[in-house]
Amino acid sequence: GEAVTCSFTNVKRGSITVVKTSAGGDAAFPFTSTALGGFSLTTVGGTAQRTFDNLLAGTYDLAESTPAGWAQTGATCSDGSTLPAINLAAGEDVTCTFANAKQGSLTVVKQATGADTTFTFDSTALGAFDLTTVNGTAQKVFTNLNPGTYDIFEDDTPGWQLVGFPLCSNGQFPSSVNLSAGDDITCTFTNRQLDTILVVKLALGGDDAFPFTSTALGAFTLTTTSGYAVQAFTGLSNGSYDLAETPVAGWTMAEADPT
């Protein structure tokens, strides 16, 4: 009388669900896996998913190939598995979520009135750079930027004055511009060349000291040598300036010619 025992062991199969989220737009995102095979998820309204079921317990590999123009912002699994390895237990249903954000761009535009020159900019996020205007304009485009806060500052340029406040197309100031997923933002800096007033004194028949008055420039005196003297006022903003010569005894003004 032999007694025989037969045991039947079953292992419940599990599943892996791959969820794709895309901030800033939709795109096709390729994945690689030696265990599951390569596949692609195309988001609609910023999301897509695929489920692999009837999977035996074991270790599965899964990795995303991030497309150009996108940045991966997260990759996690519901059971705590550390990607690219997923440890699937018997009967387990695991969801792995891959989050991406569309990269954006910042365009810095320089407008110059009066002449062309080179303007220097500083940025802790973008690095220092120069813009040299041609026919009064220049620009530089920074592409493939991850979402975040960026700073742009213009250095002082001798002989030039900033017109108003620099402003970006999203209404923010370039000193702290928030770039969201997929944003393309333009920041414009406008400068005008400062003016110069030359006061030339000509004296016929001798030399002397000739005083001038001006509420805008201040009082000053020109003393001629060999009948000639000149004074330059530089770095002046556009506008109206007053200037008058105080009569000197023994001299008659022959001409005052503003050009």
pLDDT at 235: 81
Structure tokens at 214: 């001006």
Query: Quick one: pLDDT at residue 253?
Result: 86
So what's the pLDDT on residue 9? 86
Sign of CA dihedral 209, 213, 218, 219: positive
Q: Provide the CA 136 distance to its chain's centre, in angstroms.
A: 21
pLDDT of residue 110: 97
Amino acid identity of residue 11, one-letter, is: V
Q: What's the pLDDT score for residue 249?
A: 93
Of the candidates 154, 168, 162, which has an alpha carbon nearest to the alpha carbon of residue 121? 154
CB 14 within 8 A of CB 88: yes
Residue 35's contacts (CB-CB under 8 Å, 6 or more residues apart) are 58, 59, 60, 61, 62
Residue of 123, 130, 167, 166 lying closest to 145 (CA atoms): 123
Asked if 108 contacts 30 with a C-beta cutoff of 8 angstroms, the reply is no
Name the nearest CA neighbour of 108 among 150, 128, 133, 138. Answer: 138
**Per-residue pLDDT tens digits of the chain, which is 259 residues long:** 899 999 998 889 999 999 999 999 999 999 999 999 999 999 999 999 999 999 999 999 999 999 999 999 999 999 999 999 999 999 999 999 999 999 999 999 999 998 999 999 999 999 999 999 999 999 999 999 999 999 999 999 988 989 889 999 999 999 999 999 999 999 999 999 988 899 999 999 999 999 999 999 999 999 999 999 999 998 888 789 999 999 999 999 888 777 6
Query: pTM (2 decimals)?
Result: 0.73
Q: What is the DSSP string of 55-123?
A: EPSEEEE-EE-PPTTEEEEEEEETT---TTEEEEPTT-EEEEEEEEEE-EEEEEEEEEESS--EEEEE-
